[in-house]
Structure 1
Amino acid sequence: MKILYVGPTLPDARERAGDIIVHGPAIQGDVFQAVEEGAAVIGIIDGGFEYTAPVWHKEILYALSAGVTVVGAASMGALRAAECHLFGMIGVGKIFQEYRDGIRVDDSDVAQVHGPEELGWLSLSEPLVNVCATLDALVDRQILSSGEADHLSAVARSIFFKDRTWRSLLEHADLIDENRRSPIAAALQRLAVNQKRADAIELLTVMSQFADIRSIPELEWQFQRTTLWNEMVKQHSVARVTGNLS
């Protein structure tokens, strides 16, 4: 069984997933549950983080220790892959590479506001990783000067992730010549690069290449069942029995 956790980064994931079972963004306990249910390959793209406990590194280690292939990209998956790749988690895509190499360090670079699944995970803000990818593309196409791109990048970083949109970006860009605002706005809308989506699609390709079978792990570390881990397992077991597990 292959399981993928994804939401606003790839709203059409189910149409692209083939034999991969698609769930919404991962929260704490989801990966543990997937392992207990027999998953052989787990992909993480999106994850909850503000109003719920995020997917725990410990449960990823648990999955790896059980021979499960765990792959991450694009959003929460890229963060967890950068943090856990030394333990065997596989990272995919440019965003993962930037976190792994220390080019990016702020979790909020991938954060975005979005609507519910019922509204197609409608995006309501622009994640910084997409802004930066777009600015780089416009410089490469000589639509933006490097100075304009540097200024817009700095402005984008200064805007709280919930408020970051193409409109708010230009509204705060006080060093952009007034004659340049209209063509820049048009270029940002027309040529925007969705790096998160690109990395998510790459993850689907990688997941499809793995056999749907657990491996015999050869690890240089040993999974430790700590007090916190045992408490999480206990709470999870109670939730399953009472039917309160989403």
Structure 2
Amino acid sequence: MPDLAHIAQPVDTPPLVFVGPSLPAKEVHQLLPGAELRPPIRRYDLHMARMLRYSVFVIIDGVFAQTDAISPREVVDVLQDGALVFGAASMGALRAVDCAPVGAIGTGSIYRLFRRGVLDREDEVAVTFIPERPFPALTLAMAAVRLTLNRAVRQNRMPREHAIQLIHAGQKLHFQERTWDAIFSSAGCLMPNKKLRSWLNEQDPKAEDARHLLKQVSSRIASDPELTRRPRATRLPFTDPDQTRSRSSLVELGPKFEASKPGMLLWLLQSNRLERYLKRAADDVKDGMKKLSFDLSNDWHQRLDYLTWEDLGCSDTILAKRILASVIDQMNDSDESIPEFYRLKAVAERMRRTGIIGLPSKIGGPMGIGR
């Protein structure tokens, strides 16, 4: 067996930036001098780079559909191994939201829309691009369309009703077809005048978010150069998440998963992930979400992964169990139960190490959670 002792040692490495259609390479180098650029991120890119002892990862763009996308589990792995992961604009925003509870750092308008649960579909950031010449993108991301039209209304460039009509039209288009011309045509609207057309084409919320992130990373490295030489937490290679999942099942986890159920509900509420699993739930279950409230004990965050229903101080335990049962059914259908369980375990461990409480002692609001 090869000697892996050297792998854990710190070494100077440049920040690694995964970028494609959101920003040109020249601008990345200007905003983050010394950065090493890679194509849009895909499955296992982080594992491989961390094994080579890169310490700072900046995720802007990523692939999906025909190629396996970077998984949240992989991001969690490198975070727990001591690396820093920043994200914005596109795939970076999605994974920063997924992994924020365990230390991923996100920024920008698109990140905030997902973080607050305003958006929950990954295809909101999807665009078409040419791999050999990734910048600029050939189509528009729906999230960028929303932000641009909202900005147009605020600046009195178009009436609100007109913007809403265009947003509905954009939603109906496949991401490979979504352009301003196609959106206006699909909405049955007159094409914008030259001035408005020029303004629309100048707006690029994804690029704005990417620039903001790169400036933020540059500033942090300048103030603390040691960020680029963080040692690995282990000498061992990473485990293939797919192999781990194929060996695991809820049956094998058994009592561990059962004991985590109250904490699972709290974790899903906290991370705004609950709604994505209730798409097909009965209406009374959805309505029940609005009635949930908790009176948590002071030390709940130290034992998130084995809370009891009594610990939650839930106002309606029966209703909470019904909601969670519906959620778990949908997680099972989408093979998300095991990954979600491990996300919960990672969050619980992070909370124990840092003392982060993460939720107020009382949870309220329209969906049973403070926003």
Indicate the TM-score class for this superposition, using the shorter chain for normalisation.
Answer: 0.7 to 0.9
**Corresponding residue of 1:220:** none
**Corresponding residue of 2:228:** 212
**What are the Cα deviations for residues 60-87 of structure 1, in whole angstroms up to 9, with x where unaligned?**
1111111101111100010011111011
Determine the C-alpha separation between the residues in 2 that align with 1:81 and 1:120: 22
**1:188: Cα distance to partner?**
3.5
TM-score, length-scaled by structure 2 = 0.55
Q: Which has the higher contact order (CA 8 A, sep 6+)?
A: 1
**Corresponding residue of 2:22:** 9
- Identity percentage of aligned residues: 28
Query: What is the SS of the residue equivalent to 2:87?
Result: strand
Which moves more between the two structures, 139-148 or 12-21? 12-21
Which of 190, 210, 217 in structure 1 is aligned with 2:199? 190
**Corresponding residue of 1:114:** 129
Determine the C-alpha separation between the residues in 1 that align with 2:165 and 2:134: 33
Does residue 1:24 correspond to 2:33, yes or no?
no
Query: What is the SS of the residue equivalent to 2:176?
Result: helix
**1:34: Cα distance to partner?**
1.1
Alpha-carbon distance change, 99 to 77 in structure 1, aligned in 2, over 3 angstroms: same
**Corresponding residue of 2:179:** 165
**Structure 1 unaligned spans of 5+:** 218-223, 233-246
Which of 201, 213, 235 in structure 2 is aligned with 1:203? 213
**Structure 2 unaligned spans of 5+:** 1-12, 222-226, 247-371
**Corresponding residue of 1:84:** 99
Answer whether contact 1:58 1:229 (CA < 8 A) is retained: no
TM-score, length-scaled by structure 1 = 0.82
Query: What is the SS of the residue equivalent to 1:70?
Result: strand
Aligned length: 220
Determine the C-alpha separation between the residues in 1 that align with 2:158 and 2:131: 35
Alpha-carbon distance change, 37 to 229 in structure 1, aligned in 2, over 3 angstroms: farther
**Corresponding residue of 1:123:** 137
Does residue 1:41 correspond to 2:56, yes or no?
yes
**1:29: Cα distance to partner?**
0.7
| AA partner of residue 53 (structure 1) | D
Answer whether contact 1:134 1:188 (CA < 8 A) is retained: no
